[in-house]
Structure 1
Amino acid sequence: MHSTDARILRGAVIPTSLAGLGAIIAGLLLAGGKGALGSAIGAVLVLVFFTLGMLVVSYVSRLSQQLVMAAGLFGYLVKLVAVIALIAALNHVTAWNAHAFGWTVLALTIVWLAAEVNATINAKTPYVDPGRGSRDLGKPGA
């Protein structure tokens, strides 16, 4: 993983984790133990899914820059299908509060995306290859 990707990942994981703790406390206060459990499951789901997505895209970016968008879109599709399958499989489970789960997933998704955008903007990633200067432009294969 590139150091820039690691900084962006940290910049998204830390605020999302803190918001997840807040969601678990809110779930506990609003819906008791089942609410806290629903919020905890939602927080873990968001953190795991988005972290895996970033790790996959970071890995693919080292292999081929042309495949990054395809990897991101395929990862999104896999996550979407997995979440739908998870919700369908746990549809009738009463051990946790489904409303707390849903609101936590929605809120933490927004927190993750906002934090990731903020970390990306502040990462100051160069858009040109700093290893190639003007002296390399006249050489064959440059």
Structure 2
Amino acid sequence: MQSNDARIIRGAAIPTAVVGVLAVAIGAVTAGVDGAGGVALGVLVAAVFFAGGQLSLGYVGRRWPETFFGAAFLIYTTQMGFLLGLLLLLRDASFLDGRAFAAGVLAGTAAWLGGQVRAHGKLKTLYVEPESTSASPGGRP
């Protein structure tokens, strides 16, 4: 993992964790134990999905940069497929509140994206590879 990837994930995970703790407390007050569990699971799902996508894109970007956009589309559609499957699996779950779960996913998503945008904005990423001063084009020093 490159240091920029680690900074971005850390910059997104910390606010997501803070929002998650607050959301679980709100879920517990408004909907009891089932609400707290639903919110916690929702925030966890959002964080795992976004972190997994970031790690996957970082790997593909380093290994096969020419396939980056295709891989990004494939990773995104795969994530949405897994999310659909998870929602279908949990739709009749008696151990969590469905509205609290949805609120947790939304809160986790908003916190993750906000943290990710902030982390990207603070990075000093080179968009062009700088030329080496020891070798110039044409073989002249």
Cross-structure match for 1:68: 68
Taking the aligned partners of 2:68 and 2:111, their CA distance within structure 1 comes to 23
SS at match of 2:38: helix
Write out aligned runs for 1:50-129 (5 A).
50-129=50-129
Shift of 1:76: 0.9
After the TM superposition, which segments of 4 or more aligned residues of structure 1 sit over 3 Å from their partners? Answer: none
Taking the aligned partners of 1:30 and 1:136, their CA distance within structure 2 comes to 66
Write out aligned runs for 1:25-40 (5 A).
25-40=25-40
Counterpart residue identity of residue 137, structure 2? L
- Determine if the alignment matches structure 1 residue 46 to structure 2 residue 46: yes
Taking the aligned partners of 1:26 and 1:81, their CA distance within structure 2 comes to 29
Taking the aligned partners of 1:95 and 1:136, their CA distance within structure 2 comes to 65
**Structure 2 length as normaliser, TM-score?**
0.92
Shift of 1:19: 0.7
Cross-structure match for 1:133: 132
Taking the aligned partners of 2:98 and 2:76, their CA distance within structure 1 comes to 23
Shift of 1:138: 2.4
Taking the aligned partners of 2:136 and 2:70, their CA distance within structure 1 comes to 31
Taking the aligned partners of 1:72 and 1:92, their CA distance within structure 2 comes to 32
Taking the aligned partners of 1:6 and 1:24, their CA distance within structure 2 comes to 26
Identity across matched positions, percent: 36
Name the Cα RMSD after superposition: 1.3
Deviation sequence 1:57-91 (CA, Å, 0-9, x none): 01111112122222221111011111111111111
Cross-structure match for 2:12: 12
Deviation sequence 1:33-73 (CA, Å, 0-9, x none): 00000011111111111111111001111112122222221
Runs (5+) with no aligned partner, structure 2: none
Shift of 1:137: 2.5
SS at match of 1:92: coil
Runs (5+) with no aligned partner, structure 1: none
SS at match of 2:92: coil
Shift of 1:133: 3.1
Taking the aligned partners of 1:93 and 1:3, their CA distance within structure 2 comes to 40
Taking the aligned partners of 2:14 and 2:67, their CA distance within structure 1 comes to 28
Taking the aligned partners of 2:138 and 2:11, their CA distance within structure 1 comes to 40
Counterpart residue identity of residue 71, structure 1? A
